[in-house]
Amino acid sequence: MQERYNPLEIEQSFQRQWSESQPWKVSEDKTKPKYYLLEMFPYPSGRIHMGHVRNYSIGDVVARFKRLQGYNVLHPMGWDAFGMPAENAAIQHDTHPAIWTRENIANMRTQLKRMGFSYDWDRELATCEPDYYRWEQLIFLKMFEKGLAYKKSAAVNWCPECETVLANEQVEDECCWRCENKVEQKELDQWFFRITNYAEELLEWTGKLPGWPESVLTMQRNWIGKSTGCELDFAVDGQDETVRVFTTRPDTLFGATFMSLAPEHPLAKTLTVPERSEEVEAFVKKVQAADQTQRTSGEYEKEGVFTGSYCINPVNGARIPVFLANFVLMGYGTGAVMAVPAHDQRDFEFARKYDLPLQVVIQPEGEIVGPATMSEAWEGPGTMVNSGNFDGLDNETGKQKISEQLEADGAGQKSVNYRIRDWLVSRQRYWGTPIPVVYCDDCGTVPVSEEELPVKLPTDIKFTGEGGSPLASLESFVNTSCPECGQPARRETDTFDTFVESSWYFLRYASPHCDKSPIEKSAVDYWLPADQYIGGVEHAVLHLLYARFWTKIMRDLDMISLDEPFENLLTQGMVCMETQSCPEHGWLYPEEIENGRCARCQAAVVSGRNEKMSKSKKNVIDPDGLIKRYGADTARLFTLFASPPEKDLEWNDQGVEGCFRFLNRVWRLVYDNLPTIEAVAEVDAASLQPSARELRRLAHRTIKKVTEDIDGSFHLNTAIAAVMELVNGIMAFPDKESAPEVLREAIESVVRLLSPFVPHICEELWQNLGYVDSLQESGWPVWDEEALVADTLLIVVQVNGKVRGKVTVPADADNETVEASALADTNVARFIEGKTVRKVIVVPGRLVNVVVG
RNA sequence: GCGGGUGUGGUGGAACUGGUAGACACGCUAGAUUUAGGAUCUAGUGCCGUAAGGUGUGUGGGUUCGAGUCCCUCCACCCGCACCA
């Protein structure tokens, strides 16, 4: 055995072996319990970053652990390979997205292998390959057939920088999720997936995913945004029209004193009387000129205009004026709102501004509110008043009763509204899956026939960066014949949102080479759902919602029998680091700083906030540099030890040093003790001296702790801390020579327990301990319950709840004995002296509390 | 506004069903070793105090023999949704 720990040599040697023997290649084996460990696959940007290192290190611990426990573990890796950066790179570097992407994949694959992650590389897939996306096109055809994919003209989000439309989920604060530029609204003809058909089921299942973090479930519930109420019709006075409204507060119907329509409402023009049309048109123009951000921010001043028409309240015949109001959105509900100023704050403000009447219909308990005295709307519960037959009911009952009445009268019905909109999936970009559709002058929108698939993305393309998608100008692609009538026709030149590919890659992993269909059902039946999914929380309402939706789609197309794809979800925190900047040169990389000064101009460097590592702010650590300096095991160990997986990780170079020192200590632990433990007998538990029994107890306690910390709970940082304690305990063990078999067991435990975290060094140490077979074949250690039992216990003695002493008692001492020795402690006696002992509480195995007074 | 979450030493973080708060690590201090530095080893390290002891988990209160943990109040910060009818 070498004296010094040489990580690079060891790691490369094992990685070469693993490449050849492919120890993690799996197939369906019904004799073993399966475990599908999935990590969010990366976009092939070119290099892995610390976020990947962290994500995949967490996953690899669990994969290796489960394998050692005897599970048949599927642990795949692939590439989310379509997307904008490839196109931008092609324009900038005069290359082709396909070449750029494949080179990046090759680089990153090497980097992942250099980290020692235990993937089944045989299942690797890249979504930009026709043998992947052809199946996506097939599923699209089936969705089209069922009306689950459709094209419509709608006001959509347009990113001028990316020159494409975006889904609602991809707009954050009115900005593009990718380039952070301001998004515009445009009326365009686009492809949608009917996710709204699944709104209720997606919502319902958020209550049936106990393995998901509450925060993600809540975000999805918010996004789906269900509200229940009813829809009802208001007749227009003197015209043969009705205005349909949606309300969640039918109980306030008697309090409706006016009506607000969205400026875009189809009836807006019809209801405007000629003498008001000038004013109304001016108002509509003004609202349309304001951008969406202003219009939907709470601070936007409520404004409106009277149309001159009146509606009739169906329950009491009241004649109420119809307004157009800037805060009413056409995209939600029916685009018309019955305004109840006494019980809705927005309506209240609007009514005060335009001097419209208030009618109180819900009286809160214990106070009297009236139109004259109200300074804000009462939105809380109460008793119904001024509501005809419904007076005296509590308003919750009133909601039910009024809805029933409306239904009985045929004036309305109970109704549910969702905030979620259909998923806009077409993109005006080149580097994506072609949408397999043809436009024919005679036959209209015609799907490509299944036999024609895949519609391959053409590669003979020039990238100028101008004029939108290069596909549209590629005659050889665009010009085709109609699948139905054979006449000349044009291909769809939009491609799919890349989130379509990532919505089902985890299903494809089950049978990645299947060339008959998207998936092999038996393989999906065996492996899915994924037992554990690990990735960043930024996909809470994007990928994680789409993937759930797609799974249900494939289920309803009878391709799989699965309701939900991911049994357990772990959202790991971000990797953060302080930003550093120079007044002259802006953001600085860590290696551009020398002794707190800018390497170029020697100006003092200013430290900024601790935030997510990002290239744009240059607060990044390159995994490659870390591996070269310390090895992959240290890189893995630090990201796992520095903080619990779900929390953000603060980068700390000294912490990395500390982890490297620890691995050196482990190395030395084996090296120094090897002569003592090379040839020893089995442990004979019965004949051990107290100190050896103590060490053995520590070793077994650690096995238990590490097992329980990894399994299900992901307390990886405390698992590592526990092994560190064991190492400290072994180093301090005084009787190494007289109890070598216990020493060996303890040292072996360290090596075995650490192996999922730092596999290379452990494998090497295992061999040095004399084993020929791989550590991966050795199984996970099990603790001996009997070894956990202590001979003596340390009992804390409190007087009136304050710690005054500690006594050691035999483990089997009864309460009386424990109490007696507690009271006999000299320091405890000091505090009891002269006082009456009122009560003594003995907590077996823990403490004694003496209550005096 | 609604919903979710988080507040513990100089720092990252521990603490099972209420039972020694601060495990483990970083940093720091002192010492050993070393030509020096690094590495390594030993001891110490919440705060106040020479000590005995006091005090301490965002604030204030409550339950309890005993509260970081349970209940109530308030505060701060983070995340998601938001004129959603």
CA atom of A333 to C1′ atom of B84, Å: 8
pLDDT score recorded for residue A255:
94
Nearest residue to nucleotide B20, by CA–C1' distance, is A796
Q: How many C-beta atoms lie closer than 10 Å to residue A437's C-beta?
A: 23
| Report field, pTM of the whole predicted structure over 0.90 | yes
Nearest residue to nucleotide B15, by CA–C1' distance, is A718
Indicate the pairing of strand A362-363 with strand A597-598: unpaired
At A686, the amino acid letter reads A
At A301, the amino acid letter reads E
Q: What angle do CA A728, A734, A740 make, to 5 degrees?
A: 95
Q: Is A691 left (phi over 0), alpha (psi -120 to 50) or beta?
A: alpha
CA atom of A622 to C1′ atom of B18, Å: 45
CA atom of A225 to C1′ atom of B81, Å: 9
Measuring from the CA of residue A292 to each C1' atom, give the nucleotide at the shortest distance: B83
Higher-scoring residue by pLDDT: A592, A66: A66
Query: What average pLDDT score do residues A549-578 get?
Result: 95
CB A96 within 8 Å of CB A461: yes
Whether residue A293 is predicted with pLDDT greater than 60 in this model: the reply is: no
Measuring from the CA of residue A329 to each C1' atom, give the nucleotide at the shortest distance: B84
Tokens of A418: 């969702």
CA atom of A184 to C1′ atom of B82, Å: 20
Q: How many C-beta atoms lie closer than 10 Å to residue A310's C-beta?
A: 20
CA atoms of A500 and A132, how far apart (whole Å): 12
CA atom of A794 to C1′ atom of B19, Å: 13
CB A828 within 8 Å of CB A839: no
Q: Where are the alpha helices (DSSP H) in A22-151?
A: 50-68, 84-93, 97-114, 130-145
Give how far the C-alpha of residue A538 lies from the chain's centroid of Cα atoms, to the nearest Å: 6
Strand B contact nucleotides, protein CB < 7 Å: 2-5, 11-15, 19-21, 23-27, 39-42, 53-55, 65-67, 79-85
CA atom of A661 to C1′ atom of B32, Å: 20
ipTM here: 0.95
CA atoms of A263 and A374, how far apart (whole Å): 29
Nearest residue to nucleotide B4, by CA–C1' distance, is A215
Measuring from the CA of residue A661 to each C1' atom, give the nucleotide at the shortest distance: B39
CA atoms of A493 and A472, how far apart (whole Å): 6
Q: How many C-beta atoms lie closer than 10 Å to residue A141's C-beta?
A: 18
CA atoms of A433 and A80, how far apart (whole Å): 12
CA atom of A743 to C1′ atom of B41, Å: 21
Q: HSE (CB half, 13 Å, CA atoms) of A401?
A: 17
Query: What average pLDDT score do residues A44-62 get?
Result: 96
CB A212 within 8 Å of CB A568: yes
Q: What is the overall mean pLDDT for chain A?
A: 92
At A19, the amino acid letter reads S
Condensed to tens digits (0 to 9), the pLDDT of residues A333-370 reads: 999 999 999 999 899 999 999 999 999 999 988 778 88
CB A435 within 8 Å of CB A171: no
Q: Is A596 exposed, middle or buried (0-12, 13-18, 19+ CB in 10 A)?
A: exposed
CA atom of A698 to C1′ atom of B70, Å: 33
Measuring from the CA of residue A326 to each C1' atom, give the nucleotide at the shortest distance: B83
Whole-number Cα distances in Å, A267 to A235, A238, A275, A695: 12, 14, 17, 83
- Secondary structure class of A666 (helix, strand, coil): helix
Q: Is A703 exposed, middle or buried (0-12, 13-18, 19+ CB in 10 A)?
A: buried
Measuring from the CA of residue A845 to each C1' atom, give the nucleotide at the shortest distance: B19
CA atom of A792 to C1′ atom of B71, Å: 38
Nearest residue to nucleotide B12, by CA–C1' distance, is A642
Q: What DSSP string runs through A465-527?
A: S-SS-GGGG-HHHHEEE-TTT-SEEEE---EE-HHHHTTTHHHHTTSTT-SSSSS-HHHHHHH
CA atoms of A349 and A355, how far apart (whole Å): 10
Measuring from the CA of residue A246 to each C1' atom, give the nucleotide at the shortest distance: B85
CB A541 within 8 Å of CB A199: no
**Site of tokens 């509200």:** A227
Condensed to tens digits (0 to 9), the pLDDT of residues A686-734 reads: 889 999 999 999 999 999 999 999 998 899 999 999 999 999 999 999 9
Whether residue A292 is predicted with pLDDT greater than 80 in this model: the reply is: no
CA atom of A69 to C1′ atom of B14, Å: 27
**Site of tokens 């329950």:** A315
Nearest residue to nucleotide B24, by CA–C1' distance, is A721
> Quick one: DSSP state of residue A775?
G
Whether residue A770 is predicted with pLDDT greater than 60 in this model: the reply is: yes
Whether residue A296 is predicted with pLDDT greater than 60 in this model: the reply is: no
**Site of tokens 């890189």:** A635
SS3 sequence of A431-452: CCCECCEEEECCCEEEECCHHH
pLDDT band at A295 (very low <50, low <70, confident <90, very high): low
Condensed to tens digits (0 to 9), the pLDDT of residues A164-202 reads: 999 999 988 888 888 888 888 888 999 999 999 999 999
CA atom of A850 to C1′ atom of B54, Å: 20
pLDDT band at A155 (very low <50, low <70, confident <90, very high): confident
pLDDT score recorded for residue A289:
76
Nearest residue to nucleotide B53, by CA–C1' distance, is A804
Q: What DSSP string runs through A169-183?
A: GGEETTEETTT-PBP
Whether residue A298 is predicted with pLDDT greater than 70 in this model: the reply is: no
- Omega cis (within 30) before A644: no
Higher-scoring residue by pLDDT: A645, A609: A645
CA atoms of A792 and A329, how far apart (whole Å): 72
Least confident of A217-231, A284-298, A403-417, A596-610: A284-298
Nearest residue to nucleotide B5, by CA–C1' distance, is A215
CA torsion angle for A534, A540, A546, A548 (degrees, to 10)?
60
Tokens of A760: 């290379």
Query: What average pLDDT score do residues A243-266 get?
Result: 94
Indicate the pairing of strand A258-261 with strand A319-325: parallel
Whether residue A378 is predicted with pLDDT greater than 70 in this model: the reply is: yes
Least confident of A36-50, A253-267, A278-292, A479-493: A278-292
pLDDT band at A374 (very low <50, low <70, confident <90, very high): confident
